[in-house]
Structure 1
């Protein structure tokens, strides 16, 4: 992940991954807090498994929310999000990656996606 704009001097981030079905959250997981490398890029190297019935593929999506971690009692700031899912939820590269993952469930694939707010 690169070109992330932070507020303040704390440059730490994490990703919350949510499995949604019919626009409703079913399961949620999150990465650990990551600091940028020397070249300023973030690498989230974690894997998550979600069990999904084949009959639920068309009504499911994965939402990736990137947050800036804050200290104290303040709320973490949402930097951006990306949604992968069926045609009901995603288009373009996100839809292509979703279809590829469903067609090849045991194969890992990495791809860059643009974050939106």
Structure 2
């Protein structure tokens, strides 16, 4: 899975992926902390696999939360999030990407999404 996050300010960031079923968290994974390039873009190129039974497709969503990493004991700042899932959880491009990924599980599927808060 490849992510590119463009931040105006140059901060380190990471992505937390959460597999949800019926709005409950089932599994969480997270990328390593990535440093921004000169133009402020933070690129994540890590692969993640989640096992999903065909009967669970309609009740499942995948949430991507992008956090700004902070040093010390403070809480990391949420930059934004994007949710992919069935019609129950997503609309527009997020729903289209979910349906394409489910229909073609062994193919790479790339799509740009705008983060929301």
Can you give the 5+ residue segments of structure 1 that lack an aligned partner in the other structure? none
- Say whether residues 1:4 and 2:7 are aligned partners: yes
**Aligned residue for 1:17?**
17
SS at match of 1:43: strand
Runs (4+) of structure 1 exceeding 6 A deviation are none
Q: What is the alpha-carbon distance in structure 2 between the residues aligned to residue 4 and residue 52 of structure 1?
A: 32
Q: What is the alpha-carbon distance in structure 2 between the residues aligned to residue 95 and residue 15 of structure 1?
A: 20
SS at match of 1:27: strand
Cα deviation for residue 56 of structure 1 reads: 0.3
Q: What is the alpha-carbon distance in structure 1 between the residues aligned to residue 11 and residue 103 of structure 2?
A: 37
Can you give the 5+ residue segments of structure 2 that lack an aligned partner in the other structure? none
Cα deviation for residue 3 of structure 1 reads: 3.7
Bigger strand fraction: 2
TM-score between both structures, scaled by the size of structure 2? 0.93
Q: What is the alpha-carbon distance in structure 1 between the residues aligned to residue 101 and residue 5 of structure 2?
A: 24
Give the number of aligned pairs.
114
TM-score between both structures, scaled by the size of structure 1? 0.93
State whether residues 15 and 30 of structure 1, in contact with CA within 8 Å, keep that contact through their aligned partners in structure 2: yes
Give the RMSD, CA atoms, in angstroms.
1.2
